Chains A and B, each alone.
Chain A
């Protein structure tokens, strides 16, 4: 029975993740810790497995259609993988309470970024990137006209922020698109669609660098991770299908409220109430 609910958690995370352009981590981790009462280290390890499942499935599409810039992704992965190892090792040394607090901050920032998107609908903002890309997964689009890797600016700073995105991924079990997409788009001058697809393409390798450490530390229980990962696989497919067909404005507003509520709950847990 537990397996069924874990599968549903993955399904929820995968489908809403694809629908709203979120990594599944912000859904998986609160559900596993707050509803299943699992240790947050386990939840993070399991979430990383779910994140790899999402990214691997989505990356097939983006890579085949030439949306992701593989060279740019590979270059920035030098930063994200090193960061993910740092983050995962750090997570092993800090207390659960600290992780709850950090995750609460991440959730608040995530809802702020989603809120801003729902406010200026129509205008293209960096955070809005994942949805248009997922929605256009079916149209025939290759790497944007006029864009080439030679025109990418600020590579050293981009690498530095990739390192930070990697730390966030390894420490908190999320994909890190929240940092990478704006950095590529605003700092490096990469078109939004290319930035979002490349970010998604990078997530699998980044999360693997972190997940290996959680696995070796014994934080990835197969009985938890497998139902969640299978749910995520199925959910991500359903979510990207539905993404192109329904309007997500109201859904986003609801999730902003839910995330704020969950952030407060996790912060309280972090403060030791």
Chain B
């Protein structure tokens, strides 16, 4: 089990490591710029993803921090995508490819749950 799990394990470990490093760098950069620039507190509102992306290119502190959070949120999602393809392509394990797809669908559903407040 452990041996045939190597491909999936390696892919997943790499996705998790890459995601957490990128996210930590963005958050650290955003927080550092925020502290240095002395950004006005009232402008630190919560941003949507497109604003966060655009603002990050302009090195806006709050946008960088938001992007870091979004990438942290995307990392587990990506590791499910990675597991799906690893089960499907490398291990030919249809059952667990299907289960991964199920988890992916439920996760995506969380994006479309209507805002409660």
- Which residues of A approach B to under 8 Å, CB–CB? 3, 49, 52-53, 55-57, 59-60, 63-64, 66, 69-71, 74-75, 77-78, 81-82, 84-85, 88-89, 92-93, 142-143, 148-149, 204-205, 207-213, 215-218, 220-223, 225-227, 229-230, 233
User: Quick check: A223 and B9 within 8 Å, CB to CB?
Assistant: no
Q: For the complex, is B53 an interface residue (Cβ under 8 Å from A)?
A: no
A14 CB to nearest B CB, Å: 12
Given contacts A56-B16, A81-B103, A221-B44, contact A64 B9 (CB under 8 A): yes
Supposing A49-B69, A71-B96, A74-B103 touch, asked if A208 and B76 sit within 8 A by C-beta, the answer is yes
Q: CB < 8 Å: which of A70, A142, A208 contacts B107?
A: A208
| Majority secondary structure of chain B interface residues (helix, strand, loop or mixed) | helix
For residue A142, which residues in chain B have a CB less than 8 angstroms away from its CB? 2
Contacts A92-B117, A208-B73, A229-B72 hold; do A59 and B27 have CB atoms under 8 A apart? no
Please, which residues of chain B bring their CB within 8 A of the CB of A53?
Answer: 20, 72
Residues of B within 8 A of A60 (CB): 13, 16-17, 20
- Looking at B66, B73, B75, which has the most chain A CB atoms within 10 Å of its CB? B73
- A212 contact set on B, CB distance < 8 A: 73, 107, 110-111
Q: Establish whether residues A49 and B5, one from each chain, have CB atoms under 8 Å apart when the complex forms.
A: no
B48 to chain A, nearest CB (A): 9
Question: Cβ of B5 and Cβ of A230 under 8 Å apart?
Answer: no
Contact check, A208 vs B77: say whether CB atoms are below 8 A apart: yes
A220 touches which one: B28, B69, B106 (CB < 8 A)?
A: B69
CA distance A210 to B109 in the complex (A): 11
Contact between chains at A78 and B106 (CB < 8 Å): yes
Measured CA separation A64–B66 after assembly (Å): 29
The contact string, 1 if C-beta is below 8 Å from chain A, for chain B 53-72, is: 00000000010011011101
* 5 A-B pairs with least C-beta separation: A92-B116, A222-B65, A204-B76, A205-B76, A64-B13
Residues on A with C-beta less than 8 A from B115 are 216-217
Chain B, residue nearest A225 (CB)? B69
Q: In the complex where A59-B16, A223-B65 touch, is A70 in contact with B83 (Cβ < 8 A)?
A: yes
CA of A84 to CA of B110, assembled, Å: 9
Given contacts A85-B106, A85-B109, 20 further A-B contacts (CB under 8 A): A52-B75, A53-B72, A64-B9, A66-B5, A69-B1, A70-B12, A71-B96, A142-B2, A204-B76, A210-B110, A212-B73, A215-B69, A218-B46, A221-B44, A222-B62, A222-B69, A223-B44, A229-B27, A229-B68, A233-B24
Check if B88 is an interface residue, CB within 8 A of chain A: no
Could you name 27 residue pairs across A and B whose Cβ atoms are closer than 8 Å?
Answer: A3-B34, A49-B73, A56-B19, A56-B76, A59-B13, A60-B13, A66-B2, A70-B8, A70-B83, A78-B103, A84-B110, A88-B110, A92-B116, A93-B116, A143-B2, A205-B79, A207-B76, A208-B73, A208-B77, A213-B116, A216-B111, A220-B46, A220-B69, A223-B41, A223-B44, A223-B62, A230-B31
